[in-house]
């Protein structure tokens, strides 16, 4: 796995963040953004073969019916309890890759003043356990170019991860701990169709490589489409929109109701906006996992 351990990766990440702050006066780097190609199939790795025709509960834990949302008094103790209950299932994800960057020669992005380079880089993201045997859900854009993937659990365990399947259209990826040594804490999947505008939610993730961070907000809108196409033209995400903060590195973390059920995979915050973030709903994550179990997709080499 990685030549360097997580502690060194964190120091390198901090140095890169500090450098980027000072570099903006002369040269800036633009990281690739998440893309959602509507014509993309699900991609299956060879590690997905043993899952074909397996029951859903061998990969995913669902919350009991009616346990996604509920009316309850809101106080700081409730938020604290939900954060403590769900946090152990969230994983910080670190990747090594050769990723294409755009180098800008001036702080203002002028035409013909940038070029593309491939730099060995450290990627940051989040994920969460959906089954105690070590299956993790995250975003496709967190891992799609990764040469190596390492997870850091809430108690400091470093676990090597491998990709089982990816879905670029829904920006989802299913990962698995390589040779798990014990069972892992799990977040149960809620029913995202029960979610309405104004529901309270929390997000847990790894923003900027700082480690487990909890943010709190509401659902701002449901069924938000950003692709500009209809269903007849291709598959696209029916986002949940939230004002819960989703920062770089939080991608792939869960959006969680006050019942402790995840109802979405946090994907992106709107650049230049305040309080506008987007989450892939659990219903589409379930569709992705159903495709994996049915063997529907193309081989991901």
Under the banding of pLDDT at 50, 70 and 90, the label for residue 182 is very high
Q: Which domain holds residue 212?
A: 6-33+41-47+54-294
Of 285, 299, 286, 238, give the one whose Cα is nearest residue 140: 285
pLDDT above 70: percentage of residues in the chain: 78
Catalytic residue among 104, 114, 131, 141: 141
Q: Tell me, what's the pLDDT at 229?
A: 60
Of 138, 106, 139, 134, give the one whose Cα is nearest residue 32: 139
* β-pair type (239-242, 298-299): unpaired
What's the CATH number where 238 sits? Answer: 2.40.10.120
Q: Tell me, what's the pLDDT at 99?
A: 62
Question: Is residue 251 annotated as part of the catalytic site, yes or no?
Answer: yes
Question: Is residue 114 annotated as part of the catalytic site, yes or no?
Answer: no
Tell me, yes or no, whether 300 lies in a domain. Answer: no
Tell me, yes or no, whether 259 lies in a domain. Answer: yes
Tell me, yes or no, whether 69 lies in a domain. Answer: yes
Catalytic residue among 92, 114, 131, 171: 171
132 and 156 in contact (C-beta within 8 Å)? no
Q: How many Å is the maximal CA-CA distance in the chain? A: 56
Q: Tell me, what's the pLDDT at 33?
A: 56
Q: What is the pLDDT of residues 29-75, one digit of tens each?
A: 344 456 778 889 999 999 999 999 999 999 999 999 999 998 888 88
Buried-state track 153-190, b at ≥16 Cβ within 10 A, e below 16: bbeeeebebebbbbbbbbbbbbbbbeeeeeebbbbbbb
| Domains of the chain: total | 1
Tell me, yes or no, whether 96 lies in a domain. Answer: yes
Identify the three-state secondary structure at position 194.
Answer: helix
Structure-token pair, residue 261: 């059920």
Identify the three-state secondary structure at position 89.
Answer: helix
Tell me, yes or no, whether 1 lies in a domain. Answer: no
Of 299, 227, 265, 278, give the one whose Cα is nearest residue 47: 299
Identify the three-state secondary structure at position 80.
Answer: helix
Tell me, yes or no, whether 89 lies in a domain. Answer: yes
Q: What is the pTM of this model?
A: 0.84
Tell me, yes or no, whether 299 lies in a domain. Answer: no
Catalytic residue among 40, 92, 126, 251: 251
Question: Is residue 193 annotated as part of the catalytic site, yes or no?
Answer: no
272 and 82 in contact (C-beta within 8 Å)? no
Q: Give me the mean pLDDT over the 148-162 stretch.
A: 95
Identify the three-state secondary structure at position 164.
Answer: strand
């Amino acid at each position: 796995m990685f030549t360097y351990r997580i502690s060194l990766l964190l120091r390198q990440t901090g140095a890169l963040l500090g450098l980027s702050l000072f570099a903006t006066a002369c040269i800036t780097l633009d990281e690739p953004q998440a893309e959602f190609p509507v014509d993309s199939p699900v991609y299956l790795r060879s590690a997905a073969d043993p899952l074909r025709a397996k029951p859903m509960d061998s990969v995913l834990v669902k919350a009991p019916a009616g346990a996604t949302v509920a009316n309850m008094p809101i106080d700081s103790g409730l938020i604290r309890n939900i954060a403590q209950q769900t946090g152990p299932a969230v994983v910080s994800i670190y990747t090594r890759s050769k990723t294409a960057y755009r180098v800008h020669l001036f702080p203002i992005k002028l035409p013909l003043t940038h070029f593309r380079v491939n730099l060995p880089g450290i990627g940051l993201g989040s994920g969460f356990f959906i089954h105690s045997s070590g299956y993790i859900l995250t975003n496709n854009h967190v891992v799609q170019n990764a040469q190596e993937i390492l997870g850091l659990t809430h108690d400091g365990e470093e676990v090597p991860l491998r990709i089982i399947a990816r879905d670029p259209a829904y920006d989802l990826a299913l990962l698995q701990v390589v040779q798990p040594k014990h069972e892992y804490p799990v977040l149960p999947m809620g029913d995202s169709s029960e979610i309405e505008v104004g529901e309270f939610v929390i997000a847990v993730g790894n923003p900027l490589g700082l480690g487990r961070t909890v943010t709190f907000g509401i659902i701002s809108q449901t069924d938000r489409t950003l692709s500009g196409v209809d269903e007849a033209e291709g598959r696209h995400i029916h986002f949940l929109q939230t004002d819960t903060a989703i920062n770089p590195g939080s991608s792939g973390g869960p959006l969680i109701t006050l019942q402790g059920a995840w109802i979405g995979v946090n994907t992106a915050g709107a650049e230049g906006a305040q309080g506008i973030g987007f989450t892939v709903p659990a219903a589409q994550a379930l569709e992705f996992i159903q495709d994996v179990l049915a063997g529907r997709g193309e081989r991901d080499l």
